[in-house]
Structure 1
């Protein structure tokens, strides 16, 4: 019996899940067709049927990861400063799932920096995240929760702060447990609120 398109997509998603698992546990340098095949309990031939190159495999997996990341349940997204805080909390490795997701993203940066196509795609992803944060900063300023200033600059600073904090938490989870990450973020936001006072 011939495979349907749905079977093909389901298998590609299975392969992507195996890619994420390998990247989360072994980092990007540990991502090989052999490692993914072992994770799937399959052959490398099966992988190359769906993804002819490692780059094709990784690109698809990261696109699907972005799709899942954007679709996962978010915090309340109240209004003003609370909405900005919620959005920034969603970027931190505060749960095992979020930690695995952060490990996958961070471990893929090296490859993205050395591949012009991936680099452009990553720049697009971070620009889209920055644009969303800029809107939230502007709303927080309008409600009086943040000091006046260029919303895009404040969003860039907050995004950079959270990405740096996430990296520290990945490398030193005992020193940066979830409670400390939240406390540091709240301190950063409080400083932004006082900046114009």
Structure 2
């Protein structure tokens, strides 16, 4: 009987290999060859799933978005509305090892998207999804004027995330800054 291959799972395994290479060596080191070596596959087998490096990177980034979205959907945080908003936003920030890798990948796409329209699409998907989340949360937290609040909230979360990724803030300090900002918004 022929072996049944789960193509979705194979693509996910390859995306996770991309994440490991980015976490270890940086996004500049991503190639079909380096991901094939990391995954234990041949370059030819990998090309069966992704014809180009950009396809592979785009899928890896889209999978990060999907994972974070699913993690937020499953979240049922206790506490006040303000605490719940903080718990949701914390899922998008590099506050632990898994989310650090995810944030590294997403912010790498900011630079990659500047020179590549296909990767810019993924970068826009990430930013529009994050803005939509901030808008939804702002509407719950601050009645009136939520678009301006959502833009600022998005900027604060992204700014704190960049500071953690750059080593200027610890994850704990970034979480404390987010809490202080949310306390100000909630009044």
Of 159, 166, 171, the residue aligned with 1:178 is 171
Corresponding residue number in structure 2 for 1:104: 105
Deviations, residues 29-68 of structure 1 (Å, cap 9, x unaligned): 1111121111112221221122111111112222222111
Corresponding residue number in structure 2 for 1:188: 181
Q: Distance in 2 between matches of 1:77 and 1:180?
A: 22
Q: Distance in 2 between matches of 1:13 and 1:193?
A: 39
The answer to whether the 8 Å contact 1:24/1:101 transfers is no
Q: Does 1:129 align with 2:130?
A: yes
Equivalent residue runs for 1:42-191 within 5 Å = 42-72=41-71, 73-74=74-75, 76=77, 80-142=81-143, 149-172=144-167, 175-191=168-184
Q: Does 1:37 align with 2:32?
A: no
Q: Distance in 2 between matches of 1:153 and 1:161?
A: 12
Q: Distance in 2 between matches of 1:7 and 1:135?
A: 36
Unaligned runs of 5+ in 1: 143-148
The answer to whether the 8 Å contact 2:68/2:92 transfers is no
Report the aligned-residue RMSD: 2.1
Q: SS of 2:127's equivalent? A: helix
Unaligned runs of 5+ in 2: none
Q: Distance in 1 between matches of 2:2 and 2:109?
A: 35
Q: CA 1:34/1:98 → structure 2, altered by over 3 Å: closer, same or farther?
A: same
Q: Distance in 1 between matches of 2:55 and 2:78?
A: 35
The count of aligned residue pairs is 185
Q: Distance in 2 between matches of 1:69 and 1:96?
A: 13
Equivalent residue runs for 1:6-17 within 5 Å = 6-17=5-16
